[in-house]
Structure 1
Amino acid sequence: MLRVELRVEIVITAYNVQNYISQCIQSALRQSYSNCHLLIIDDGSSDYTPQRIKEATKDVSLDAYTVVHRDNSGLADTRNYALDHLQGNCFTFLDGDDLIPRDYVSSLVSVMEKTSADLVACPFTKITSTYFIPKNNFLGSSNSNKTEVIDNTEFLQRLTTLSLPKGIDVSSHSKLYKNECWGNLRYPSKKNFEDSFVIFNILQSVKHIALTDATHYLYRYRPDSIVNSPFNLTRLQYIEAEKFLYDKVQNVYPNTQLAKQAHIRLDHVYLNTLMHIALTDDSKFSDLERRLRPAALGKRPIYSIFIEKIPIIDRIGRFALWIGLPVFNIASRLFRITRRTRT
């Protein structure tokens, strides 16, 4: 029986990434897997990103890519446009400042074909201009070629586990999807932290998920990204997104260990948000800090601090918060200093 090769759409979304988009496109064009098509979407960039896209594709066959320039609408709406215009059998997201290794698509397709999985996920490696940091390596050492097939409930179990290496990231990148995984599912318009709004419904639409270390997605760490930028009120959407995920888990898996883990994850998000406020050091957020403190501590703060199985950094953070916001704010700044020293 003749084997039909899967056609893979590489969806590249770009907004004001003039310093990175050329390398991103080149990494996608150099894939060893031959049956790829690039859908490159410029989300109304105000820098030289459109020119860089034109330069990076000028000598490439028009059959290999499609470029779309849209008015700025945000990542969620840009990805929704891509989902409405997919070609082929499956696709993968590639952010315009990230990279993928030459064998990225071929490795994920090989795993998908061998396991009959609907979704294949790989770890991502954090990159900067000077060094690589292994991140979220959920099967073992880097590029160990290990593969594991799990169901959607097990994926959620690992997703809501905060301690690596068992954790699996919520991000839409570093995954190969069959088109039918998404169906009519779309991101909520104009939302940041959009991945947490869709991951649960995606998982409900798949039967088999393959995890592999055969390749890594290369995620560029940028201090000016939404995740790493100083706190502003838009970041409260992080809580909204994770609360959405938490409610979904609670509704489908009530009174289970999975529901408990989802609650711990949500508590972590409140704590993380408070830490970002503390690092911003702006008195205008003082009232918000006081309102978020009870949610970050939880209904049983003593239990969560001294008994509950949570990451050590969360335990220290909750203990400092339990003592008081001034202590927590000092602890947050000390944590930032030690983290910078380590890197």
Structure 2
Amino acid sequence: MKKISVIIPVYNDESGIRRCIDSVLTQKIVETEILLIDDGSTDNSPQILDEYAASHENIRCIHKQNGGAASARNLGLDEACGDYIFFLDGDDFIEEDALSALLTASDEYDADMVIGNFCTRKNDGTLIKNFTIPEYARNKVISEYDYWRLNAESSTYVTTVVWTRLFKKEVLQGVRFKEGVIHEDEFIQIDFAGRAKRIYVLDKIITSQCMSSDSVMRRPFNIKNLAFVQARRERVDYLIGKGYYDMALYNFGFGSRSLIIAHKKLKDGEAQKEIKRLYREYKALATRLSTCVSTKDKIRLTLFRINLDLYDIVRNALRS
């Protein structure tokens, strides 16, 4: 039987980690290897993880110094022995037939990557929201272009997270999550899309994301958020190279809006220096994009290159 390595980074998740691990242990018709990566937790998480590892042969616990989710996932990739890889966060959990459904789809459609759906819940399990996968991608093998199209959909975020997917292990050979940043999922999307030759989208709830009030993604805006702007810059560059100009323009807009927000909110010298560097790189992208878009968008990109503040004023005036 094919084995799935489930990589779970854990940092101070004592309130939800048992539910998370139990959801993997109760999976049907699959063989799992559970890698619990303790990322320097300071609560009771390490003791809980050791308890599970001592009582289950298919669980390994590795303790490391705190380095963030990306470093924990990278360590998990180094240690994984399975034929497939599945990522899960320590405060989330999966449906009881999630892994078997993903594995069946991978076998049936010879998919290098199977992307499932997810929902958001409160910590007590109360449902907050189910997401909708558009018809063109629902229960289908999709092209790389449609992967990026799906990434741009406002109705779903299934291609912006890593914990709904089953990967053939060879797809992730040599892939590394970018360490020391937030938005690490943003940086790795190019690797996922470029390496997976066949991508299948499964319209089934795989993961319940539990929304805690102290999530990193809901903390005040600071210089670390510029990592998102950098990730989108790299993505736009990649998409231009692929000839996906509409998707490049969409991601340029997303990244440039975040750059404007940072320009307004972050006034310290270090942040402003990084903002200026990113603005230069975005201006270079705007020049390249201008040859591949409509006249209206050419004007927009030209204005962006001339002056960031003026671009923001005109943009807001046109939207009002």
Q: Same fold (TM over 0.5)?
A: yes
**Aligned residues, how many?**
295
| Contact 2:4–2:30 (CA under 8 A) maintained in structure 1 | no
Q: Which residue of 1 aligns with 2:304?
A: none
- C-alpha separation in 2, matches of 1:33 and 1:126: 26
Query: Structure 2: which 5+ residue stretches go unaligned?
Result: 302-308
Contact 2:260 2:312 in 1 (8 A): no
- Is this contact kept in 1: 2:5–2:85, CA < 8 A? yes
Taking a change above 3 Å as real, the CA distance of residues 242 and 118 of structure 1, as seen in their structure-2 partners, is same
Paired position in structure 2 for 1:202: 192
In structure 2, which of residues 16, 32, 35 is the aligned counterpart of residue 20 of structure 1? 16
For residue 235 of structure 1, give the secondary structure of its aligned residue in structure 2. helix
Contact 2:118 2:204 in 1 (8 A): no
Q: What is the match of residue 155 of structure 2?
A: 164
Aligned to 2:5: 9
SS for the counterpart of 2:6 is strand
Match in the other structure for 2:208: 218
TM-score scaled to structure 2, two decimals?
0.79
Shift of residue 66, structure 1, vs aligned partner: 0.6
Per the alignment, residue 260 of structure 1 pairs with 246
Partners of 2:101 and 2:39 lie apart in 1 by: 29
Aligned twin of 1:40: 36
% identical aligned pairs: 23
* Per-residue deviation, 1:324: 9.1
Cα-to-partner distance string for 1:34-82 (whole Å, 9 max, x where unaligned): 3111011001112221122234455x32x21111001112222211111
Aligned runs of 1:1-343 on 2, under 5 Å?
5-58=1-54, 60-61=55-56, 63-129=57-123, 131-139=126-134, 147-159=139-151, 161-165=152-156, 168-251=158-241, 253=242, 256=243, 258-272=244-258, 288=272, 303=296, 321-322=312-313
Inter-CA distance 220–210: structure 2 relative to 1 (3 Å threshold): same
CA shift, 1:237, in A, is 0.9
Could you list the runs of 5+ residues in structure 1 that have no partner in the other structure?
141-145, 309-317, 332-343
Whole-angstrom distance in 2 between the partners of 1:18 and 1:43: 13
User: What is the CA deviation profile of residues 219-272 of structure 1, one whole-angstrom value per residue up to 9, with x for unaligned ones?
Assistant: 122232221111111111111112122212222x2xx4x223223223223424
Secondary structure of the corresponding residue to residue 95 of structure 1? coil
- Tell me if the contact between 1:18 and 1:52 (Cα under 8 Å) persists in the aligned partners: yes
With normalisation by structure 1, the TM-score equals 0.74
SS for the counterpart of 1:122 is strand
Distance in 1 separating the partners of 2:132 and 2:9: 25
Distance 2:239 2:15 in 1: 39
Offset of residue 321 of structure 1: 4.8
